[in-house]
Structure 1
Amino acid sequence: MTHRTTLAALAAVTALALSACGGSSGGSSSEEAGGSAAADGAFPVTIPNAFGETTIDAEPERIVVIGYTEVDTLLALGVQPVAFQEFVTFPDAAVPGLGPWAEDLAGEAEMQVFPVSSPPGVEEVLALQPDLVVAVGSGIEQDEYDQLSAVVPVLARPEGSTAYLVDRDDATLAIGQALGKEDQAQELVDGVEDAFTEARDANPDFAGKTVVVTLPATDGSGGYSAYVSGDTRVSFFEDLGFELTPGIADIDAEGGFFVTISAEQVQLLDADLVVVLALDSVEETRATLEADPVFATVPAVQAGRVIYTDPLSGGGAISYNDVVSVPFALDQLVPQIQDALGS
């Protein structure tokens, strides 16, 4: 799969989503990305969630995103929020707060960015006078939901889901429903599945291989963090045909999205493929782990089956794992995986 192939596929799918209902007229902040109008009869709509249900009476025009990755999906649907939550800080971003995979989708209107270091409180969100708050990928709980939803509709995570671990397709389709763009959202979901299918078909040896996604622990313990099933980073590799290595899969994450592995447990990180998420810099993380005598004892590391991912590029894209970042991640990471596995 080539860079041109998957990004062209995303462009085609996004174009379909933007043109499905014709061009939009100016004036609404939510239309600055060039989006189409909602489908006829889409509103009012009631969407159940983990804390109750949300009724949206009319097409939203002032949307505030407090979930960590949903801004990409809104932009792909042609809707630009007035503000959104930053997930990764991109120092050289052409559009502040957006990854390189999404910046071309933004319109000219400036969006307020909530820094990753200081998520907004209820008062800050309401001060923006939104008519919809999108919180699918946030850590919102009942109290905050109740405070916000007393004033404005809140699209929260689905029933039965865990904070920060909402399935990509479920999140995309819920956002599409809230915006009156269900058909366009389904097209985006289908486009991503087609991209994964193409990648799996081109790399049949990925099927059934084990993977672990890890990074040096940041708690000063000298151990390692490893992501668990349901996390976006693991889901990306599972969609390519990999399976989470049993050493990690068998650990109870107690509702979290990662577990901490001590130096004494380092062999739990062994897999057919070890994926390292760099902390700040690929070079620094690689140097740290290559100088780590404990990490060096892992058989996969000894065999060279390790890839290091850039948090501002491929590593960031799998952390988002949304309908915009996936094609970018495939182009960035599939060649690295092939090299590591000797494919």
Structure 2
Amino acid sequence: MRTIERGRPGGGFRARIVALVAMAFVVTACGGQGPAGTEVQTRAVTHPFGEVQVPAEPATILATDEYAAMNLMALGVQPAVVYGSYGSEVGRVVLEDAGVTVTPGTTFFESPPIEEIVAHAPDMIVMTGGAEMQATYDALTPVAPVVAIPYYDTTWQDSLTAAGAAVGREDRASEMITTLEERIGAVQAASKPGPTSLSVIGETYGECCFSAARGTPLSAILEGAGFTRPAAQDVDATDGDFSVVPISPEGIGEHDADLVVVPEGQFYDADAVRSQPVFQSLPATRENRVLQVDGDIWFGNFAFAVHWIATDLEAVAQDGAAATVGLPGDAQARWAAFREDVGT
């Protein structure tokens, strides 16, 4: 996958941020001063960048991306401000239906729009990512307490647990993990005789091709639902940032299965995969055993994505390549079903 250059803001940039946020929220271990000198109760949260004191009852949460925001929404906490860093159509629909405006543009990797963020006066910022987001985290910390939710190189359970800790909903997160694990297990229990092996072949940023490595959220969900993978995909990641298995166009033949899934979406180009000569020669392709799915969701690591994938796999277990899987236009119905299942 494409390597994105990650710069660290220089000293002058940092000084400008500090000047902009002279009125920023300040906290201590036992409390801080809020607006008009009011006492603000805080609590400690441990996250990938250390420990931070956050408001016990934040009034204005800003999420730097849709996926962090949807994890908070799943836990019953609605952010006031969300940036569309992933360009997710599903995320935009879900959040705007809830009355949350998604601001176009990214807060990732490049310097985030500090002036805009300060103007929103958040008393807490929640972001997606770990070490790869160090520069973004450093830029945001003068504005308000920042909590990072791990996303890459972690399980979906740990990511959801971290989201629960960020907003003081640890028990709710634990209950949701149990529900989602049962939902995944139910796919295998209810499946009819059908496809037992499933291959995922994707393309992104103009590079073909890749699949999800062993231990990634998608791989864990597939295993929990009773699907096996081609041996060529049952390996550890070689790209630590994104946990993928590179597939050369010439090596696609090693990735055939009962069902081949090709992701399409904001960052995924299904046509680029389908146009590969070796892909066209796969038995699965010749026998119409190829299914196109929403790649932005299938490679997502947040609670709603887990439920969405399980729902797709249930249809696959029943109907194989004829399965009806979720598309961005199904976001509202899928979100309603998710909320009903997890009790949000």
TM-score tier, shorter chain, comes to: 0.5 to 0.7
SS of 1:135 mapped into structure 2? strand
**Inter-CA distance 138–211: structure 2 relative to 1 (3 Å threshold):** farther
Q: Distance in 2 between matches of 1:117 and 1:205?
A: 46
SS of 2:92 mapped into structure 1? coil
Q: Please give the residue correspondences for 1:62-211 in structure 2 after superposition, counting only pairs within 5 Å.
A: 62-86=60-84, 87-90=86-89, 97-99=92-94, 106=98, 108=99, 110-115=100-105, 121=112, 123=114, 124-137=116-129, 141-157=133-149, 164-203=152-191, 209-211=196-198
Counterpart of 1:97 in structure 2: which amino acid? R
Q: Distance in 1 between matches of 2:187 and 2:233?
A: 25
Counterpart of 1:53 in structure 2: which amino acid? E
**Inter-CA distance 201–290: structure 2 relative to 1 (3 Å threshold):** same
Are 2:316 and 1:330 equivalent residues in the alignment? Answer: no
Aligned to 2:235: 250
SS of 1:241 mapped into structure 2? coil
Structure 2: gaps spanning 5 or more residues = 1-40, 324-344
Give the structure-1-normalised TM-score. 0.67
Q: Distance in 2 between matches of 1:151 and 1:217?
A: 34
Q: Please give the residue correspondences for 1:245-284 in structure 2 after superposition, counting only pairs within 5 Å.
A: 245-250=230-235, 252-255=237-240, 256-279=242-265
Q: Distance in 2 between matches of 1:289 and 1:147?
A: 38
Q: Distance in 2 between matches of 1:266 and 1:89?
A: 28
Aligned to 1:318: 298
**Inter-CA distance 275–121: structure 2 relative to 1 (3 Å threshold):** same
1:307, 1:337 within 8 Å by CA — same for their partners in 2?
A: no
User: Share of identical aligned residues, percent?
Assistant: 27
Structure 1 residue 82 displacement after superposition = 1.9
Cα offsets for 1:5-27 (capped at 9, x unmatched): xxxxxxxxxxxxxxxxxxxxxxx
Q: Distance in 2 between matches of 1:339 and 1:204?
A: 8
Aligned to 2:45: 47
Structure 1 residue 276 displacement after superposition = 0.6
Structure 1 residue 277 displacement after superposition = 0.6
118-127 or 267-276: bigger deviation: 118-127
Give the structure-2-normalised TM-score. 0.67
Paired residues, what number? 279
Q: Distance in 2 between matches of 1:205 and 1:166?
A: 32
Structure 1 residue 155 displacement after superposition = 1.3
Instruction: Give the alignment partner of residue 60 of structure 1, picking from 54, 58, 61.
Output: 58
Structure 1 residue 279 displacement after superposition = 4.2
Are 2:223 and 1:238 equivalent residues in the alignment? Answer: yes
Q: Distance in 2 between matches of 1:139 and 1:67?
A: 16
2:192, 2:318 within 8 Å by CA — same for their partners in 1?
A: no
Structure 1 residue 212 displacement after superposition = 2.6
Cα offsets for 1:318-338 (capped at 9, x unmatched): 333532343344334422343
Structure 1 residue 121 displacement after superposition = 0.2
Cα offsets for 1:283-337 (capped at 9, x unmatched): x946x6556432123344345432211x3xxx44333353234334433442234
Instruction: Give the alignment partner of residue 280 of structure 2, picking from 293, 296, 314.
Output: 296
1:236, 1:321 within 8 Å by CA — same for their partners in 2?
A: no
Structure 1 residue 132 displacement after superposition = 1.5
Counterpart of 2:50 in structure 1: which amino acid? G
**Inter-CA distance 325–144: structure 2 relative to 1 (3 Å threshold):** closer
Q: Distance in 2 between matches of 1:179 and 1:248?
A: 36
Q: Distance in 2 between matches of 1:249 and 1:206?
A: 21
